[in-house]
């Protein structure tokens, strides 16, 4: 099969589009004929050796997958050959940037039918991150105010949609490039962070502050004054400490996305009902994934990109 792999950690130039052995599913696993493999910034961190996620070399990147089951390992129940699935697969195992991938059956759910199968790869890890940040860590409920800093990215797009659907008042920061997408996602207020500061734009307290953007420790700490007493600060940026305020009982929560098939199944149901939109910025042949990694390293990726393996 064709796959993108790296045999050593380093820059995007270590990636190779090459032939690899067809993987064989073990007990509790299935093999998937890949329809789509989503690129995530963490893929570059794993490839570069910056993230503390151990991988065996050579390694196939890609932890978001959509595709069709073509083989079952021993002991797999509830899934069948020919079924379309989507999932957030283990980050330390060989990933989806290939024509086939083996994945644990217990992290997969039925794929949405309302959108192209390949596009469904743009849902799992970012959709789960948004949901876990808002509802597990943030405990967001109807009628609350949430400030989403960095709403223009893929996680932010889902966070705005999910928060709005939950009945929250959504304040979102976005650049002019992404403001229309954020508006379409349902934001009640949009702050153009290129022309005004969040502190100047937000004058009433918020219940939840969700940071999804690169930020300095001092800049992050300054935003906590806009969180009400007893509120919560949630962040997906582990390289910067998440600030709280013990004197005012403001909690600090840092999110590390984890598989959750119940939540993912619910997200798929929302896609199929038309209540959640999957936004794909670009679809590229799998052979172009090394160039996508290079663009990601340079900060030139805007929106979700899905790599499409060649037909089997």
Which of these, 106, 103, 75, lies nearest to 89 by C-alpha position?
A: 103
User: What pLDDT was estimated at residue 300?
Assistant: 92
SS3 137: helix
Domains 2-123+278-308 and 126-254 share a fold: no
Residue with tokens 């109807």: 142
Measured over the CA atoms of residue 85, residue 281, residue 237 and residue 269, the dihedral's sign is: negative
Query: Quick one: pLDDT band at residue 193, thresholds 50, 70, 90?
Result: confident
Q: What is the pLDDT of residues 15-66, one digit of tens each?
A: 999 999 999 999 999 999 999 999 999 999 999 999 889 999 999 999 999 9
Q: What is the pLDDT of residues 96-126, one digit of tens each?
A: 999 999 999 999 999 999 999 999 999 999 9
pLDDT of residue 173: 95
> In the CATH scheme, what is the code of domain 2-123+278-308?
3.90.180.10
3-state DSSP assignment of residue 224 = helix
The widest CA-to-CA distance across the chain, in whole angstroms, is: 60
In Å, how far are 3, 108, 131, 142, 154 from 160, measured between CA atoms? 34, 25, 10, 13, 10
Q: What is the DSSP letter of 31?
A: E
The span from the CA of 124 to the CA of 259, in Å, is 9
Cα gap 59→266, rounded to integer Å = 31
- What's the whole-number mean pLDDT along residues 206-231? 96
Residue 271: pLDDT band with limits 50, 70, 90 = very high
For the cut 90, the answer to whether the pLDDT of residue 194 exceeds it is no
Q: Domain coordinates of the chain in residue numbers?
A: 2-123+278-308, 126-254
What confidence tier does 238 reach under pLDDT thresholds 50, 70, 90?
confident
Neighbours of 83 (CB within 10 A): 16
What is the residue-averaged pLDDT of the chain?
A: 96
Q: What is the pLDDT of residue 60?
A: 98
Cross-strand partners of 30 = 72, 103
The percent of residues above 90 in pLDDT, for the chain, comes to: 90
Give the C-alpha distances (Å, rounded to integers) separating 7 from 1, 48, 50, 64, 90: 17, 11, 16, 21, 19
pLDDT in tens, 196-218: 888 889 999 999 999 999 999 99
pTM for this predicted structure: 0.95
CA dist list (Å): 76 to 24, 27, 72: 14, 7, 7
pLDDT over 70, % of the chain = 100
Within 8 A by CB and 6+ apart from 116, the residues are none
Report pLDDT for 237: 87
Task: For residues 302-307, give the mean pLDDT.
Answer: 95
CA dihedral over 281, 282, 286, 287, signed as positive or negative: negative
Distance CA 204, CA 221 (A): 17
CA dihedral 279, 285, 290, 292 (to 10 degrees): -30
Q: How confident is the model at residue 239 (pLDDT cuts 50, 70, 90)?
A: confident
Which CATH code, of 3.90.45.10, 3.40.50.2300, 3.40.50.300, 3.40.50.720, is assigned to 126-254? Answer: 3.40.50.720
- pLDDT band at 286; cut points 50, 70, 90: very high
What is the arithmetic mean of pLDDT over 247-258? 96
Tokens of 232: 């919560």
Closest CA to 105 of 129, 73, 60: 73
């Amino acid at each position: 099969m064709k796959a993108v792999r790296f045999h050593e950690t380093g820059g995007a130039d270590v990636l190779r589009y090459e032939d690899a052995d067809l993987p064989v599913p073990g007990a509790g696993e299935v093999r998937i004929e890949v329809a789509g493999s989503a690129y995530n910034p963490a893929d570059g961190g794993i490839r570069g050796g910056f993230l503390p996620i151990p991988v065996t070399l050579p390694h196939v990147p890609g932890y978001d997958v959509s595709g069709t089951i073509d083989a079952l390992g021993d002991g797999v129940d509830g899934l069948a050959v020919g079924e379309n699935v989507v999932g957030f697969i283990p980050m330390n195992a060989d990933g989806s940037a290939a024509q086939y991938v083996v994945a644990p059956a217990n992290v997969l759910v039925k794929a949405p039918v309302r959108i192209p199968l390949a596009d469904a790869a743009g849902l799992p890890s970012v959709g789960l991150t948004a949901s876990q940040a808002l509802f597990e860590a943030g405990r967001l409920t109807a009628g609350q105010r949430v400030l989403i800093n960095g709403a223009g990215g893929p996680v932010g797009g889902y966070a705005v949609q999910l928060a709005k659907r939950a009945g929250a008042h959504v304040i979102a920061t976005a650049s002019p490039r992404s403001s229309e997408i954020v508006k379409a996602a349902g934001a009640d207020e949009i702050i153009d962070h290129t022309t005004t500061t969040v502190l100047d734009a937000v004058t009433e307290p918020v219940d939840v502050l969700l940071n999804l953007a690169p930020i300095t420790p001092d800049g992050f700490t300054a935003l906590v004054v806009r969180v009400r007493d007893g509120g919560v600060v949630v962040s997906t940026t582990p390289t910067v400490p998440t600030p709280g305020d013990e004197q005012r009982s403001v909690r600090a929560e840092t999110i590390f996305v984890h598989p959750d098939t119940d939540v993912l199944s619910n997200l798929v149901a929302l896609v199929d009902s038309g209540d959640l939109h999957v936004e794909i910025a670009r679809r590229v042949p799998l052979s172009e994934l090394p160039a996508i990694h290079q663009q990601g390293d340079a900060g030139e990726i805007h929106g979700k990109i899905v790599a499409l393996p060649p037909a089997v």
